[in-house]
């Protein structure tokens, strides 16, 4: 930037004489890429540093040789002295100086202060020319996408879908917005939910999935489906009761990952194939029927081609038949199948019981770096203890590939959490290596799937996104102390577990070990109590990928009605329903929450004025102005001396 350009730009807001007196930032390089633009200070500084280094090296070598010569004279080893400078020193201090000089390696050289000063200036100049630093990653975007920002955005914008280039008419006609608020309920859980839904035009539908599907981990939607199904089975069908882990033999792993066989002898693994001839299709023509030959007359078939999902489905089909038909023990006792009573017009009858299951597969690497596929399975199937061993052997024979580990679930209503923990999928969702899986990664029985939400009414969204985010922010702030408490308790628990293991290895007394175990149990109860306190609100607000507000408990319906009235009255939500007329409810809400809405508007107007107002400019007195002008003059004078000398 030239000086004339600076005066031209700044002259629009300040007089030219004030700019000339207050241009210290420009001269210091704050507005330019160079530390001092009117002189090549960087090159001068490099040349000066090179000269100083050469002088330091020459002086060091010279003084080092002088010191060695003087030492030889003192020891009597050198008698012929040609230089009186060493033979007859003028004073004792000179002799001591010659003896010790060179040991500091330039620390007392006359140019050292000047060299260090130039190095500091050069370093600052490099920082100004090319500023460096680390990228800052925000833990949350709430500072940029807060609810205040959403309120302002709703006031400025109106959501609508624009027509594509090839469309003459937009896909949505009239005043209907593609974004709506749906009021939903779920009977089996007693929950009510208000969720923002975006209607996608039919022309923007995603492409259909083709080819073989490969996945590396469970998606958040999959985890949500599994949790909901587990809660549904626990609420309406007493929960899952059996946990099974299915593993694969090496031969079956070859078949899963490459449709290969291990081979015989030293041949190694290979892929067996079969060929099926396609004779074509007979079609009518002008001259009668004729055969249309295919493009590929032979079709290649891999007989060993399979997947984890296919093998698990085969096992579940056999288990379901065994569940309904019954089975025989090794002693020959018959265990009947499970049915449920049913009344008909002809009298009592029975029908097959529902076979509830849910499974998920993973394939992490083992110690040798090879994939280790296995399946975690939940079943609602229990047998008497006297039949458990025979029952487990029968299931292992149905599986047929490797060991099937079977265990009872102590808490059936929390079975879905067992399954999620089994695959290493915690709250963050990506903290475990779940491996690559071909085909289905998880599956849920049709009878075990949680019924979907039922939509009761649809409203215009208006500013509901900002309202949900505001409530979510307040709820998070309320949970922060409780979350810190749980984190502190978990750290204490981990330390106690570590201390218990150390005490056990050191052979401490049984009384000491019991005290540590009691402390672990006490901390577990404290964490569970705090977690239950966090759930006491019975309200969940989501403002990430999808905006929704859910109420649980017996009073969920009343709380949802109260929330809608509060949003319409205290936050100015339009409450325009697309199904029925709610103008009377809107009027009632405005009257009930008029004072809160006025306070809300006043607060937003106040902060808006604060953000838009420029900071006050304080007048500078003459003494302070004279002081800084003197500092500038001294700084520029010192800079010119450095450059010229």
The runs of H, that is alpha helices, within 461-534 are 464-505, 510-534
Query: pLDDT tens digit string along 128-170?
Result: 665 555 555 555 655 556 777 777 777 777 666 666 666 666 5
Spatial distance between the Cα atoms of 3 and 289, rounded to a whole number of angstroms = 92
Q: Over the stretch 573-629, which tens digit does the pLDDT of each residue have? A: 989 898 888 899 999 999 999 999 999 999 888 888 887 777 776 677 788 778 878
Q: Are 577 and 194 in contact (CB under 8 A)?
A: no
Cα–Cα distance for residue pair 527/482, rounded to 1 Å? 10
Q: What digits encode the pLDDT tens for the residues 42-60?
A: 566 667 667 666 665 555 5
- Measuring CA to CA, which residue among 470, 444, 446 is closest to residue 603? 470
SS3 call for 457: strand
pLDDT tens per residue, range 363-388: 888 887 788 899 999 999 988 888 98
Rounded average pLDDT over 200-212: 71
CA 6: distance to chain centroid?
46
pLDDT digits (tens, 9 = 90+) for 59-114: 555 555 555 665 565 566 654 444 444 444 444 444 444 444 444 444 444 556 67
DSSP 3-state helix, strand, coil percentages of the chain (rounded to 5)? 50, 15, 35
**pLDDT tens string 464-501:** 998 999 998 899 999 999 999 999 999 999 999 999 99
- List of residues 6+ apart from 533 with CB closer than 8 A: 482
User: Model confidence at 503, in pLDDT bands (50, 70, 90)?
Assistant: very high
DSSP state at residue 209: P
Highest mean pLDDT among 35-49, 179-193, 601-615, 630-644: 179-193
User: Token match 């379901």: residue?
Assistant: 320
DSSP string of 249-318?
Answer: -HHHHHHHHHS-B--STTS--B---EEEE---EEEEETTEEEEE--S-SEEEE-TT---HHHHHHHHHHH
pTM of the full predicted structure? 0.65
Instruction: Identify the pLDDT of residue 462.
Output: 86
Q: Among 79-83, 204-208, 265-269, which range has the highest average pLDDT?
A: 204-208
Domain ranges of the chain: 33-133, 147-204+455-611, 214-260+307-438
> Half-sphere exposure (CA, 13 Å, Cβ side) for 54?
6
User: CA 248 to CA 366: how far, in whole Å?
Assistant: 13
Residue reference for tokens 């370093």:
123
Q: Is 540 helix (H, G, I), strand (E, B) or coil?
A: strand
Are residues 540 and 549 in contact, defined by beta-carbon separation less than 8 angstroms?
Answer: yes
Q: How confident is the model at residue 103, as a pLDDT? A: 46
Alpha carbon distance, N-terminus to C-terminus of the chain: 27
**pLDDT, position 483:** 93
- Specify the residue for token string 């936050």: 571
3-state secondary structure of 76: coil
H-helix or E-strand spanning residue 243:
strand 242-247
pLDDT-based confidence at 428, cuts 50/70/90?
Answer: very low
Q: What is the DSSP letter of 463?
A: T
Q: Give the CA radius of gyration of the chain.
A: 41
Residue 253 binned pLDDT confidence (cut-offs 50, 70, 90):
confident
| Per-residue b or e along 256-281, where b marks 16 or more CB atoms closer than 10 Å to that residue's CB | bbebbbeeeeeeeeeeeeeeeeeeee
């Amino acid at each position: 930037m030239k000086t004339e350009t600076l005066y031209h730009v700044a002259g629009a807001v300040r007089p030219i004489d004030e700019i000339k007196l207050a241009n210290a930032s420009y001269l210091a390089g704050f507005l330019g890429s160079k530390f001092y633009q009117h002189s090549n200070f960087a090159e001068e500084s490099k040349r000066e540093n090179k000269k100083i280094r050469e002088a330091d090296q020459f002086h060091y070598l010279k003084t080092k040789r002088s010191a060695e010569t003087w030492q030889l004279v003192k020891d009597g080893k050198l008698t012929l002295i040609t230089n009186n400078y060493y033979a007859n020193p003028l004073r004792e201090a000179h002799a001591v100086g010659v003896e010790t000089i060179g040991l500091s390696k330039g620390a007392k050289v006359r140019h050292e202060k000047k060299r260090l000063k130039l190095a500091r200036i050069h370093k600052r100049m490099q920082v100004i020319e090319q500023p460096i630093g680390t990228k800052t990653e925000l833990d949350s975007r709430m500072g940029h996408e807060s609810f205040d920002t959403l309120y302002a955005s709703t006031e400025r914008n109106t959501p609508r879908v624009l027509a594509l280039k090839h469309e003459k008419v937009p896909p949505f006609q009239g005043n209907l917005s593609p974004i709506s608020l749906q009021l939903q309920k779920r009977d089996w859980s007693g929950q009510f939910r208000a969720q923002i839904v975006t209607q996608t035009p039919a022309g923007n539908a995603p492409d259909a999935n083709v080819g073989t599907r490969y996945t590396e981990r469970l998606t958040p939607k999959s985890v949500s489906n599994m949790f909901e199904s587990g809660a549904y089975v626990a609420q309406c069908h007493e929960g899952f009761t059996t946990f099974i882990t299915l593993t694969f033999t090496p031969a079956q792993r070859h078949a899963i990952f490459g449709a290969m066989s291990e081979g015989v002898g030293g041949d190694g693994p290979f892929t067996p194939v079969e060929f099926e001839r396609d004779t074509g299709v007979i079609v009518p023509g002008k001259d009668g029927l004729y055969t249309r030959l295919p493009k590929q007359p032979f079709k290649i078939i891999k007989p060993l081609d399979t997947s984890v999902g296919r093998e698990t489905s085969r096992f579940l089909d056999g288990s379901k038949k065994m569940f309904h038909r019954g089975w025989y023990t090794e002693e020959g006792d018959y265990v009947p199948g499970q049915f449920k009573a049913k009344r008909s017009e002809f009298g009592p009858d029975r029908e097959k019981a529902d076979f509830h299951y849910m499974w998920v597969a993973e394939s992490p690497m083992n110690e040798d770096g090879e994939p280790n596929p296995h399946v975690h399975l939940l079943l609602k199937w229990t047998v008497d203890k006297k039949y458990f061993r025979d029952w487990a052997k029968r299931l292992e024979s149905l599986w047929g590939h490797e060991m099937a580990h079977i265990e009872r679930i102590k808490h059936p209503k929390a079975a879905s959490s067992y399954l999620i923990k089994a695959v290493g999928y915690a709250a963050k969702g990506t903290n475990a290596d779940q491996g690559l899986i071909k085909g289905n990664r998880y599956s849920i029985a049709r009878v075990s799937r949680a019924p979907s939400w039922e939509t009761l009414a649809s409203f215009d969204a208006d500013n509901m996104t900002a309202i949900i985010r505001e409530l979510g922010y307040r709820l998070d702030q309320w949970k922060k102390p409780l979350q810190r408490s749980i984190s502190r308790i978990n750290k204490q628990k981990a330390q106690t577990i570590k201390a218990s293991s150390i005490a056990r290895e050191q052979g401490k007394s049984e009384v000491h070990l019991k005290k540590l175990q009691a402390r672990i149990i006490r901390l577990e109860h404290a964490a569970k109590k705090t977690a239950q306190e966090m759930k006491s609100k019975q309200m969940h607000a989501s403002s990430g990928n999808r905006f929704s507000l859910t109420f649980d408990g017996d009073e969920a319906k009343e709380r949802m009605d109260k929330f809608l009235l509060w949003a319409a009255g205290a936050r100015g939500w339009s409450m325009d329903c697309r199904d029925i007329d709610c103008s009377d409810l809107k009027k009632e809400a405005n009257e009930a929450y008029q004072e809160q809405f006025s306070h809300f508007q006043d607060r937003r107007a106040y902060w808006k004025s604060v953000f838009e107002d420029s900071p006050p400019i304080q007048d500078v007195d003459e003494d302070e102005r004279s002081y800084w002008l003197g500092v500038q003059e001294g700084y520029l004078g010192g800079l010119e001396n450095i450059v010229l000398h």
